Structure 1
């Protein structure tokens, strides 16, 4: 006999959470609802949905049944109360920042972040006065030292893109709680298969679903997860969450949606006003990808460790940033937070500098020269001239993306074949 009251384990949730057989047809696979709008039962129902007095489908930009299934699945995997799916990971970061902040507000940001996030933060600072205050280092004390009275959140990545450093989430979460700030964690590189940030104190989790969640490099998408853990009313401020919405008959979100006010604010402001809705086809493909997430992450981690170990001992390699290897920077955090392995993204520096790094990438045959990460196929890129090109040289060095550095995203191929390809590419480097 089984205990039907016990929550399903992770692998089962990855396959089943958020979706069920279609009641109209019996279809076992989640249907793709390719439609702009949905017929209302009555004029009263239409008015109630638009006034947020009742929930329901009206227009696919704000909600769609296929997209809703993805939202429920990712929320279940992350242990969140609700999730909002959007058009890209970049959109997810944008909506979080713009929902939390108004002009003149600040937030503490990790000094190591994906280049696209850094570029967005600087643009929002220059044009809209949303001010990032970058911590000087990665310790909880560094984050705490950067807090000022204007700060409204703390933002970090669980596993840093691209160096693979694993953040001390519980330490940073303790800082956030002491100062009454929500902790926002980008969990893209870990996926909930390796780290569930909410279990370590995060209040908001974001993903680029284009990476490990989808897995096959077919789609663009993002998701925002609301843990339902932060007391927005007690914290005060956050006018989009706590203040009345005149265009919704004076709606005060925490009064009507006390468990998920942040998610509701993101949907109303982000999807209804700004509009970066997710295509139902992309939601369907991501749902399909998530079904194999636990199996894929196990292989990703095993392959990455094997490749990183080979590179670490190669005479043409200056250093490798993978914290899953003994003696590497961040090894203790990696062992604590990612016992299955710290993902499959890391950087490697060539002793020959930028010419060697570029020659190495050009010499790869099995590994693709491609800007994405987290795919089934192994990928390589030169961050200093692509994803992180906008950073000053000092910040590139701090982020482990100097001119001598290559970012690798290790896929699911046979590890021996990957090592052989990397070895022959290194042989071509002077």
Structure 2
């Protein structure tokens, strides 16, 4: 018996999930631009629809190009399986869908992307769900927020916009004690910098739009299952532990074991919600992931240099980057993200709201866009854009107050980026 080789991250980011195309020998994963797939016969079709056989039925559910991406992301995260979908926001709904029901709630971090706060505080109410927002630095408050109707705990590994690093080990212990899954948005860190499953997370979500694709071309999302959570330990998760009427009483956890959540995401989530990733988007993301480690190393190196420069600049009040030795999260970042604290942080500019507006309007290399994780350096004023829908108290809690700009450092020449910030700050604070 031959031992299965253990490959490093750099090898897996290129090869995981991909095999030469059996029909043509094509080495790069083809774009399978098709809606449906021919069944061998009626028995084959019935087996697929009964979940007795794995295969392709219809591209709302499964597609060969998307399947490669799902396997690659799951492998890089160290998970059992993954489901890709149309966006990061779609991934968050997909992640909660098997767990929630009317009257149930999720405990979520106050330090989260503004769109996530809006989705959790407003939109999910239409499903009868609710969210309790808590400062995840206050572990006792997190534990106290959990009640008999709580079904998940949600946070970001490196928070958008402030670059705050969550103590995943501590939060995972709280989740375990309550027999609840910890869901971690790992978009900003990527599996290269942080693997939440190693810190006790049960599920991971991604906006693949960001660092995984890395080129600002397509949107996408992913939900990754660790395969370790016991969905049958309590009666809290009937969608996974109890008979499913749509599949003749099949019990997902009993039937599929570690892959129960993943199969449910495809067979129920994608079937009924239809938040499908298209094969061309999957293809672009696969190509992006091939250089993920190389890009993240450059992102982090640039971020360290630029954050250090900004911290000493008299026109700046504060830099939130956890990769700075002065950051209150520096030690935590070294434990949670040993390869670097990412490349996203905020800067408080002297002169407040008006100075921030002038700064973003006078940069030449930095692009003023509502995105992050691009190879290009990006800047945004959250209080007037992504966090505009929040009140000032919520903005401050999320680290996105009126005097704050969010900076996503790209992979350009760091000295050029510093020069661009320098000249724009001169105009902004004149």
* TM bin (shorter chain): over 0.9
Q: Are the counterparts in 2 of residues 193 and 294 from structure 1 also a CA contact under 8 Å?
A: yes
Q: Secondary structure at the match of 1:232?
A: coil
User: In structure 2, what is the equivalent of residue 371 of structure 1?
Assistant: 370
Q: Do the aligned partners of 1:33 and 1:66 also contact (CA within 8 Å) in 2?
A: yes
Partner of 2:84: 85
Helix, strand or coil: the match of 1:251? coil
Task: Give the match for residue 172 of structure 1.
Answer: 171
1:402-417 mapped onto 2 (5 Å cutoff): 402-417=401-416
Q: Which residue of 1 is the match for residue 153 of structure 2?
A: 154
Q: Is the CA contact 1:384–1:401 (under 8 Å) kept in the aligned structure 2? A: yes
TM-score by length of 2: 0.97
In the alignment, which residue of structure 1 is the partner of 2:201?
202
Deviations 1:94-139 (A, max 9, x none): 1112221001011211111111111111224432221111113424
Secondary structure at 1:152 match in 2: strand
What is the alpha-carbon distance in structure 2 between the residues aligned to residue 137 and residue 230 of structure 1? Answer: 22
* Matched residue, 2:49: 50
Stretches (4+) displaced over 6 A: none
Q: Is the 8 A contact 2:366 2:379 kept in 1?
A: yes
Following superposition, the deviation at residue 241 of structure 1 comes to: 1.2
Equivalent position of 2:29 in the other structure? 30
Cα distance in 2 between the residues matched to 1:26 and 1:83: 26
| 1:289 alignment counterpart | 288
CA displacement at 1:145 relative to structure 2: 2.2
Q: CA-atom RMSD, angstroms? A: 1.2
Contact 2:111/2:399, CA 8 A, preserved across alignment: no
Query: Partner residue of 2:249?
Result: 250
2:97 alignment counterpart: 98
TM-fit CA distance, 1:223: 0.4
Which runs of 5 or more residues in structure 1 are unaligned? none
Contact 1:244 1:250 in 2 (8 A): yes
Counterpart secondary structure, 2:356: helix
Asked whether the equivalents of residues 76 and 191 of structure 2 are also in contact (C-alpha less than 8 Å), the reply is: yes
Name whichever of 281-290 and 259-268 sits farther off: 259-268
Distance in structure 1 (CA, Å) of the matches to 2:32 and 2:136: 46
Q: Does 1:314 find its partner at 2:313?
A: yes
1:235 aligns with 234
Q: How far, CA to CA, are the matches of 2:278 and 2:106 in structure 1?
A: 31
1:325 aligns with 2:324: yes
3-state SS of 2:97 partner: helix
- 1:192 alignment counterpart: 191
1:4 to partner: Cα distance: 6.0
Cα displacement (A) at 1:366: 0.5
CA contact (8 A) 2:136 2:166 kept: no
SS of corresponding position for 1:85: strand
> Would you say the 8 A contact 2:202–2:226 is kept in 1?
yes
In 2, the alpha carbon distance for the partners of 1:366 and 1:357 equals 16
Matched-pair contact (CA < 8 Å) for 1:139–1:168? no
The gaps in structure 2 that reach 5 residues or longer are none
1:49-87 residue CA offsets vs partner (Å, 9 max, x unmatched): 112121110100100000000000000000000000000
What is the alpha-carbon distance in structure 1 between the residues aligned to residue 3 and residue 281 of structure 2? 32
Is residue 8 from structure 1 mapped to residue 7 from structure 2 by the alignment?
A: yes
Output one character per residue of 1:246-287: Cα deviation in whole Å (capped at 9) or x when no partner. 121111111210111111111122100110110000001100
1-structure distance, mates of 2:147, 2:94? 22
Is 1:399 the equivalent of 2:392? no
Of 134-143 and 60-69, deviating more is: 134-143
Aligned length: 428
Q: Are 2:194 and 2:338, in contact at CA under 8 Å, matched by a contact in 1?
A: no
Provide the rounded CA distance (Å) in 2 between the counterparts of 1:412 and 1:394: 34
Q: Report whether the alignment pairs 1:224 with 2:223.
A: yes
CA distance in 2, matches of 1:304, 1:142: 32
